[in-house]
Amino acid sequence: MKRTEYHCQSCGRAIYFDGLCYNCRQRQSRERAQAWSDVEVARKMRAIIAALDDKFYKKEENREFFELLAYKDISTEKIAEAATRVGVYYPSELYRDAPPKAREKLLALLETPECKEASHILLCLALAGGEDVLATFARLERNPLPWVKKLHVPLSVYAQAGGWTFDKAGNHIQLNFDKCYPVFSASPDNSDAAVSVAVPREETCPHCGTRLVDILMLDGKDRRLAFLNLPGTVRVPCCPQCSCEGFIVRYQLDGDSAMELVNPFGDGEKMRDNVYAEMVTKKFALSTRPESLFFARGNDEDVITVGGFANWIQDFQYEPCPDCGKTMRYFASVPWAALMDSAEGALYLEICPDCQIIGAFHQQT
Ligand SMILES: [Zn+2]
Ligand SMILES: [Zn+2]
Ligand SMILES: [Zn+2]
């Protein structure tokens, strides 16, 4: 049976029901949240505090919490205090702005030989950050208590959940950037040159023959992108067909870049022409203003972001630089559905500025 085809009333993409496509509904829910007044925000925060218990993550208030974090950049200080009082340690983002007293309480729990809920508490502290957290994590990694030995990954990996880690000497290493700019779809008239997305290149993929694209091209001289500390043009060449297993880019700040596939995905079949054409005709514009570092976590809207925290589809993933071995710094993600209606998953980009290397990998459900 052939299903009736409709077009989304907002963006025009083909869908199989009358109304708005999923992504446009997510965009509308974001715009609704962005328009919440201070009074509404305060009321929702009280509702979140009242709803804190071990089932919180399944509740409507949990969804609203992420919208407040992503679109209103709320301080979670009061929420973290309340969560500490009732012993709720999930989701860890509740503790993003945990005040020193709340952190102390959580840190004290780690000092027991058999810390219950250690994993959740560590993630909460990773999100909270702070010198006290760093010092405790580094000490417990050097001199582990019995519960530490049962963890599947070291404490320096738990810290990554908060966008940081530490070296053997206990020195803090930042793993993400302290600004975030979304890249919204735009009409050809108001697209902008600070970030270009999926721009066709001359060369073709050695594995499948698809013409490569610069999946991102960043103008690091644009004042909005100054936080990346890349004073030049950085291109990220990519085969849109076989990048699933990840790839490496060696870049120069003059826009010269070379791509190496780590482990080409698929059977070497070229991307279909109509899909390729759809991908390279979309236009985008970098947001005029920075947004919350958690912008990508607000809902499942397919928005490209530069900086901030990734919306990981699987677990958070910070890869070592293939040259120097240091953990790379996360700087952008591209949900494929922002480029191709039927695509799934997202591409995550991390950088080692010392080696001028970008590592890219894909996650999907
Ligand atoms: Zn739509
Ligand atoms: Zn390819
Ligand atoms: Zn490196």
Predicted confidence (pLDDT) per residue in 184-213, tens digit: 988 877 778 899 999 999 999 988 999 999
For residue 320, report the distance from its CA to the centre of ligand 3, in Å.
8
Residues 93 and 164 in one domain: yes
Statement to judge: residues 212 and 343 lie in one domain: yes
pLDDT score, position 191: 75
Pull the structure tokens for residue 233.
Answer: 């043009």
Q: Is residue 240 domain-resident?
A: yes
pLDDT higher than 90, residue 264: no
**How far apart are the CA of 341 and the centre of ligand 1, in A?**
10
Per-residue pLDDT, 1: 62
Task: Output the pLDDT for position 4.
Answer: 87
The encoded tokens of residue 179 equal 């600004």
Of 128, 152, 174, the last residue of a domain is: 174
Tell me the pLDDT tens digit for each residue of 306-328: 999 999 999 999 999 999 999 99
Is residue 26 in a domain? no
Question: Mean pLDDT across the chain, nearest whole number?
Answer: 94
Are residue 150 and residue 195 in the same domain, yes or no? Answer: no
Number of domains in the chain: 2
* Enclosing domain of residue 284: 177-363
Do the domain assignments include residue 19? Answer: no
Checking if the pLDDT of 265 tops 80, the result is no
Q: Examine the fold and report which residue of 116, 148, 174 is the final residue of a domain before the chain moves on.
A: 174
| pLDDT value at 156 more than 70 | yes
Query: Which ligand ends up closest to the CA of 7?
Result: 1
Report, as an integer, the average pLDDT of 330-342.
Answer: 93
Pair (196, 317) in one structural domain: yes
Q: Is the dihedral of CA 125, 99, 95, 173 positive or negative?
A: negative
Q: Are residue 235 and residue 319 in the same domain, yes or no?
A: yes
- Residues 182, 326, single domain; the answer is yes
Same domain, 202 and 342: yes
In the structure, ligand 3 is a single-atom ion and the residues with CB under 5 Å from it are 321, 323-324, 352, 354-355
Co-location of 162 and 201 in the same domain: no
* 169 and 182 together in one domain: no
| Domain end marker among 174, 192, 220 | 174
**216 contacts: CB under 8 Å, gap ≥ 6:** 195, 196, 197, 234, 235, 236, 304, 332, 334, 349
Give a yes or no: residue 122 inside a domain. Answer: yes
Task: Note whether 263 and 166 are same-domain residues.
Answer: no
167 shares its domain with 188:
no
Q: pLDDT tens digit string along 90-127?
A: 999 999 999 999 999 999 999 998 888 999 999 999 99
Q: What is the Å distance from ligand 2's center to 335 Cα?
A: 18
User: Domain check: are 231 and 345 in the same one?
Assistant: yes
Average pLDDT rounded to a whole number, residues 128-148? 96
